[in-house]
Amino acid sequence: MPAGTLYRGREGMWSWVAHRVTGVLIFFFLFVHVLDTALVRVSPEAYDDVVATYKTPLVALLEYGLVAAILFHALNGLRVIAVDFWSKGPRYQKQMLWTVMGVWIVLMVGALYPVLGHAVREVFGS
């Protein structure tokens, strides 16, 4: 038997958890991004070498994950702003979350080709 159960929160709690997780992931990306961009000051050749590795299919998949995290964080951020500043925001938070998820799915489908197209051609041939 488990040692104390997880609190069974609803949409609000899980959107907050997802907002935190995506926020931390984006922070790690920014950390790496500042480092690799700063590399150009060290040596342009080293910078080119590092950026060349970003063209591999695995990194393309990571980039798609990054798009997912940023889109959710941005859209849910707008929902949180509405909850904060719109007097009816707290009452419509669930509907706003489902709207966020709907827009997120549409944008994720839209990002499939631009982000993963190159990787797919590389893996499966053109």
Partner 1 sequence: MATPTMDKVEAEAAASDHLITVTFRIRRFNPEISADAVWEDFQLEIDPKERVLDGLHKIKWDLDGTLTFRRSCAHGICGSDAMRINGKNRLACKTLIKDINPAKPITVEPIKGLTVLKDLVVDMDPFFQAYRDVMPFLVTSGNEPTRERLQTAEDRERFDDTTKCILCAACTSSCPVFWNDGQYFGPAAIVNAHRFIFDSRDEAGEQRLEILNDKDGVWRCRTTFNCTDACPRGIEVTKAIQEVKRALITRRF
Judged by the rule CB under 8 A, the positions of this chain that interact with partner 1 are: 1, 3-13, 16, 80, 83-85, 87, 89-91, 93
Please, are residues 51 and 38 in contact by the beta-carbon 8 Å criterion?
no
Q: Cα(first)–Cα(last) distance of the chain, in Å?
A: 53
Tell the residue number behind the tokens 């488990």, with chain if given: 2
Q: How far is the CB of 59 from partner 1 (least distance, A)?
A: 33
As measured in angstroms, the least distance from the Cβ of 102 to partner 1 is 19
Which tokens go with 37? 């961009």
- In angstroms, what is the minimal distance from the CB of 107 to partner 1? 23
The residue (of 7 and 31) whose beta carbon lies closer to partner 1 is: 7
Closer by beta carbon to partner 1, 82 or else 116: 82
Q: Which residues contact 64 (CB under 8 A, 6 or more apart)?
A: 111, 112, 115, 116
